[in-house]
């Protein structure tokens, strides 16, 4: 479904990523872990066109994505959330999800002025789709659909960001630390939500950057480990967690030897 080949990213004299390759299969969840500064968000920024790699290539279903702007990549089927919230906090929960459908709608300024009926019909259709999407992600979020997004607690904001990303009808969903700021109970609820999303969309592929090892152990089919912009390991969680280099990246050499 999605692959990267030899991805390298340089910022001046700093190499943020060096020769990283990966594969993501249809319907698969790939976890991405590593210490702060390992290059995890850089990888997502390359995949979504925010960064253009210094070298290497990104492919989606056989189509090369290098050089394609971010908004075109969304329309091709890749959506994402960010580590920091990007919600429109003054707008309602429902409006945020409707905005997420912008890549799937056709009406523009001309339609809003001269073809008002067409624009209104498309907006009503988007609202109905957004409501069904909210029900599928979180019934509690649906019940709050007319509430301002800025009034939501942190856990519900994260759910809303996922719902807004799903509104673009992606083939691949990239989640950047979705459990950030959550306690254990909220993280457990988030994992249930993600499982429900996957059950409803069996062909949807996901890449999840995460620091909460409970989530990493429970959800991804495979885990890829990055450290200092390099790929250390790729495989099932129970295997990669025992690799000495992975333990050193997280714990330091002495602590890893003791473990």
Let me know whether 138 and 214 are in one domain: no
The answer to whether residues 32 and 60 belong to one domain is yes
Among 117, 143, 169, the domain-final residue is 169
What is the Cα–Cα distance from 127 to 143, expressed in whole angstroms? 14
Residue 225 covered by a domain:
yes
Q: Which domain holds residue 37?
A: 1-77+170-259
Q: How many domains are there within the chain? A: 2
Quote the pLDDT of residue 254: 41
pLDDT at 110: 39
Please tell me the pTM assigned to this model. Answer: 0.85
Q: In terms of domains, do 250 and 176 share one?
A: yes
The token duo for 41 is 């968000």
CA distances from 258 to 232, 245, 251, 252, 255 (A): 20, 13, 10, 10, 5
Residue identified by tokens 């002495």 is: 254
**Burial of 165: CB neighbours in 10 Å, binned 0-12, 13-18, 19+:** buried
* Residue 58 near residue 47 (C-beta atoms within 8 A): yes
> Is 87 in contact with 159 (CB distance < 8 Å)?
no
Q: In what order do the strands lie in the sheet with 2-11?
A: 14-24, 2-11, 55-60, 63-64
Spatial separation of the C-alpha atoms in residues 250 and 245, rounded to whole Å? 9
Domain end marker among 108, 137, 169: 169
Residue 224: beta bridge partners?
32, 234
Same domain, 68 and 174: yes
Q: Which helix (H) or strand (E) holds 216?
A: helix 213-218
Instruction: List the 29-33 sheet strands across, edge first.
Output: 78-80, 172-176, 205-209, 29-33, 222-227, 230-235
pLDDT, averaged in runs of 10, over the chain (259 residues)? 94 90 95 89 93 94 91 91 86 91 58 54 80 86 91 90 91 92 89 91 94 90 92 91 82 46
Handedness of CA 85, 212, 242, 202 (dihedral sign): negative
- Domain final residue, candidates 169, 190, 220: 169
Query: Of 29, 58, 60, whose CA–CA distance to 207 is shortest?
Result: 29
Rounded to whole angstroms, the Cα distance separating 204 from 173 reads 7
């Amino acid at each position: 479904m999605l692959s990267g080949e030899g991805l390298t990213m340089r910022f001046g004299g700093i190499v943020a990523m060096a020769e990283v390759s990966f594969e993501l299969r249809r319907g698969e969840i790939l976890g991405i872990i590593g210490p702060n500064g390992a290059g995890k968000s850089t990888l997502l920024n390359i995949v979504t066109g925010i960064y253009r790699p210094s070298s290497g290539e990104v492919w989606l279903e056989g189509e090369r994505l290098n050089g394609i702007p971010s908004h075109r990549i969304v329309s091709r089927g890749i959506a994402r959330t960010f580590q920091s919230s990007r919600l429109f906090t003054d707008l309602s929960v429902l409006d945020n999800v409707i905005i997420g459908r912008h890549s799937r709608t056709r009406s523009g300024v001309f339609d809003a002025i001269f073809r008002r009926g067409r624009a209104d019909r498309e907006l009503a259709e988007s609202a109905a789709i957004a409501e069904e999407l909210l029900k599928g992600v979180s019934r509690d979020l649906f019940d709050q659909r007319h509430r301002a997004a800025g009034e939501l607690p942190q856990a519900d904001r994260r759910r809303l960001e996922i719902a807004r990303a799903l509104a673009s009808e992606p083939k691949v969903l990239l989640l950047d630390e979705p459990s950030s700021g959550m306690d254990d109970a909220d993280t457990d609820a988030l994992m249930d939500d993600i499982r429900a999303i996957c059950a409803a969309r069996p062909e949807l592929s996901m890449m999840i950057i995460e620091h909460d090892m409970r989530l990493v152990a429970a959800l991804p089919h495979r885990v890829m480990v990055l450290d200092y912009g390099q790929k250390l390991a790729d495989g099932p969680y129970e295997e990669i967690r025992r690799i000495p280099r992975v333990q050193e990246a997280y714990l330091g050499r002495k602590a890893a030897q003791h473990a």
